[in-house]
Chain A
Amino acid sequence: MTGAELTLQILQQHGVDSVFGYPGGAIMPLYDAIYDSPIKHFLCRHEQGAAFAAVGYARASKRVGVCLATSGPGATNLITGLADAMSDSVPVVAITGQVPTVAMGSDAFQEVDIIGLSLAVTKHCVQVMNVEDIPAAIEEAISIALSGRMGPVLIDIPKDIQVAETQVRGSGPINSSAPTAVDSYHNLAIEQAKTLIRQAKKPILYVGGGVGMANAVSELRDFCQFTKIPSVSTLKGLGTVAADDEYYLGMLGMHGTKAANYAVQKCDLLIAVGARFDDRVTGKLKEFASNAKVIHFDIDQAEVNKRRLVDVALLGDLKVNLPATAVTSDIAPWQQYCQRMITDFAWQYDHPGEKIFAPSLLNKLSQLMPDNTVVTTDVGQHQMWTAQHMAFAQPENFLSSGGQGAMGFGLPAAIGAQISRPNDTVIAVSGDGSFMMNVQELATLKRFGIPVKIVLIDNARLGMVRQWQQLFFEERYSETDLSDNPDFVMLAQAFDIKAQVITTKQQVDAALKEMLAHDGPYLLQVRIDELDNVWPLVPPNAANEAMIESVK
Chain B
Amino acid sequence: MQQHNLTITARHQPVVLERLLQVTRYRGFNVVGMTMFPVSELDQLTIELSVVSDKSVDNLKNQLLKIIDIEQIKVEDQALQKFMA
Contacts and interface: CB of A to CB of B under 8 A. Distances in A.
Interface in A69-116: 115-116
A119 B63 CA distance: 14
Given A180-B84, A305-B56, A305-B59, A300 B22 contact: no
A483 interface: no
B56 A301 contact: no
B15 A126 contact: yes
A125 interface: yes
Interface stretch (A47-55, A141-149, A245-253, A438-446): A141-149
Interface string B47-64: 000000000101100110
27 contacts: A116-B18, A119-B18, A119-B22, A123-B68, A124-B68, A125-B15, A126-B15, A127-B14, A127-B15, A147-B85, A149-B66, A149-B85, A180-B84, A180-B85, A300-B66, A301-B62, A301-B65, A302-B63, A302-B66, A304-B62, A305-B56, A305-B58, A305-B59, A306-B59, A315-B85, A316-B85, A317-B85
Contacts, number: 41
Interface of A: 115-116, 119-120, 123-127, 144, 147-149, 180, 299-302, 304-306, 315-317
Given A123-B68, A124-B68, A305-B59, A299 B85 contact: yes
A123 B63 CA distance: 11
A302 B63 CA distance: 5
A180 B83 CA distance: 10
A513 to B, nearest CB: 46
B15 A115 contact: yes
B37 interface: no
B26 A302 contact: no
A147 B22 CA distance: 22
Contacts of B4: none
B19 A119 contact: yes
A226 to B, nearest CB: 25
Contacts of B18: 116, 119
A119 B65 contact: no
Contacts of A317: 85
Given A119-B18, A299-B85, 6 more contacts: A119-B19, A119-B22, A123-B68, A125-B15, A149-B66, A302-B62
B50 to A, nearest CB: 21
A325 B17 CA distance: 40
A119 B15 contact: yes
B22 A315 contact: no
* The 9 nearest A-B residue pairs measured at CB: A302-B62, A148-B85, A124-B68, A301-B83, A302-B63, A119-B22, A301-B62, A299-B85, A119-B19
Contact of B83 (A125, A147, A315): A315
